[in-house]
């Protein structure tokens, strides 16, 4: 078993803009969400945290874990960065733009084909699957209580691989900002 947390809100979340690999910071709402989540989940123990290198996830992890005793180490892993949307990062209202290739990622993921510098599901699943096998499973097998802090699509890729969820249902377990999921291996 492990826990997975999505970062707090950003200005781009509020404007419904694709963030992907762009390193957007939390806004004050996101920081408060992380503080609220820290209070809500204060009784859950963690031994170690693995986190995306993007600042919105890093700051969420720091706020969420602040003041815990013993201190929980936060280890950055580049395999946990958000899925890249290539040239479409920063585009607003993608779910209302059927002409955009990234639209299918959200509406019919089984038909999605990565274009214009965007990352494919194969690439995303490759790097997060490697993280699961090389880091997550061994840590859990050794008895560690693991927290992963990341992003919407990246988190879904981990959860879906653990649960064997088909690509057509990719967004089934999409978390809200600062929502914590408990996942059984």
Averaged over 129-155, what is the pLDDT? 98
Q: How far apart are CA 149 and CA 116, in angstroms?
A: 27
As a whole-number percent, the residues of the chain with pLDDT over 90 amount to 97
CB 42 within 8 A of CB 112: no
Whether residue 155 lies inside any domain: the answer is no
CB 51 within 8 A of CB 150: yes
Range of the domain at 66: 8-146+161-183
- Residue 86, both tokens: 């290539």
CATH number of the domain residue 18 falls in: 3.40.50.1240
70 closest CA partner among 145, 13, 8: 145
Whether residue 1 lies inside any domain: the answer is no
Q: What angle do CA 126, 13, 35 make, to 5 degrees?
A: 95
pLDDT score for 101 = 87
Averaged over 135-144, what is the pLDDT? 98
Residue 119 has pLDDT above 90, yes or no: yes
Whether residue 120 lies inside any domain: the answer is yes
Structural domain count of the chain: 1
| Dihedral pair phi/psi, residue 138, rounded to 5° | -65, -40
Q: How far apart are CA 78 and CA 45, in angstroms?
A: 24
Whether residue 153 lies inside any domain: the answer is no
Whether residue 89 lies inside any domain: the answer is yes
pLDDT in tens, 15-64: 999 999 999 999 999 999 999 999 999 999 999 999 999 999 999 999 99
């Amino acid at each position: 078993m492990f826990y997975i947390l999505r970062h707090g809100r950003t200005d781009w979340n509020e404007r419904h803009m694709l963030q992907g690999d762009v390193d957007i910071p939390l806004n004050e709402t996101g920081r408060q969400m992380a503080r609220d989540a820290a209070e809500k989940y204060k009784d859950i123990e963690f031994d170690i945290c693995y986190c995306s290198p993007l600042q919105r996830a890093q700051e969420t992890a720091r706020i969420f874990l602040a003041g815990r005793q013993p201190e929980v180490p936060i280890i950055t892993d580049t395999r946990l960065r958000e899925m890249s949307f290539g040239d479409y990062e920063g585009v607003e209202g993608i779910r209302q733009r059927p002409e955009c290739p990234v639209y299918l990622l959200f509406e019919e993921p089984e038909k999605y084909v990565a274009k214009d510098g965007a990352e494919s599901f194969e690439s995303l699943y490759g790097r997060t699957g490697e993280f699961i096998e090389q880091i997550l499973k061994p840590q859990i097998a050794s008895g560690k209580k693991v927290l992963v802090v990341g992003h919407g699509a990246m988190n879904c890729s981990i959860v879906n691989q653990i649960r064997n969820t088909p690509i057509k249902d990719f967004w089934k377990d999409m978390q809200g900002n600062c929502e914590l999921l408990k996942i059984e291996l």
